[in-house]
Structure 1
Amino acid sequence: MRWIALSFCLVVAAAGAARAAEAVSPELIRLHDDLKLSDSQDIAWRDYTTAIAPDPQQVARHRATSELLPLVPTPRRIALIEATMSQDAIDFRRQSAAVTAFYGKLTPAQQRVFDQDTLPQGSDRP
């Protein structure tokens, strides 16, 4: 029985690792390559990418909000939207702190690369 449980845990862990590997966007791979990070900066990179990764709880919260909105009266909709936005603001502050911390570890030349590579798509690039 222990072996079955252990095997199950290994399969779940492998699946989680595979999903994590798939979650790395081509843009992040390009940014990492363009930055030419030192070993010490690579540790900060891992912290940064972990902090900005899509949060399953946030995705679930948005899905639940979308499903509930048509079912509740307007005052409850407003409260639900406000609660969702408040949690999104907390998530944004956490992610922005991670970006700022990582950015501070970069050299000025790397900061220029980061600025250029992270412009929103469709922005005018200098």
Structure 2
Amino acid sequence: MPVQHDVRSGGFSLIEVMVALAIFAMAAVALVRLSGLSLSGAVHLADRQYAATVARNQTLEAMLSPTAPAADQGRERAGQRDWPWQRRVAPGPVPGTQVVTVEVRGDAGQIVATDQLLWSGQ
């Protein structure tokens, strides 16, 4: 006697498999894109950290200076590149003090990091 199979009781239909594969493909594409964005964000964050280190180095040099700091600019190597920095000096809130601001710029000229201190000759 031949065995009869009930069509509804076994396996997945072709449509169900195709829908499952389409959902999996969309999830895989989303994960790959998220991975790329995470890598891009990590690189951007590393650049900001290097720029902040350059800004901090320049403000510390001004703070440790025995004479009043002056406006200046230059480049400092951090990471794999040279960072252009600019130091500005303005009168402080108390006589004999100065506000020292250091800005570090990126490749497009945008400010990537800043640091500021109140210098006192005492």
Q: TM-score with structure 2 length normalisation?
A: 0.32
> Which structure has the larger Rg?
2
Considering fraction of residues, name the structure with more strand.
Answer: 2
Q: Which protein, 1 or 2, shows the higher relative CO under an 8 Å CA cutoff with sep ≥ 6?
A: 1
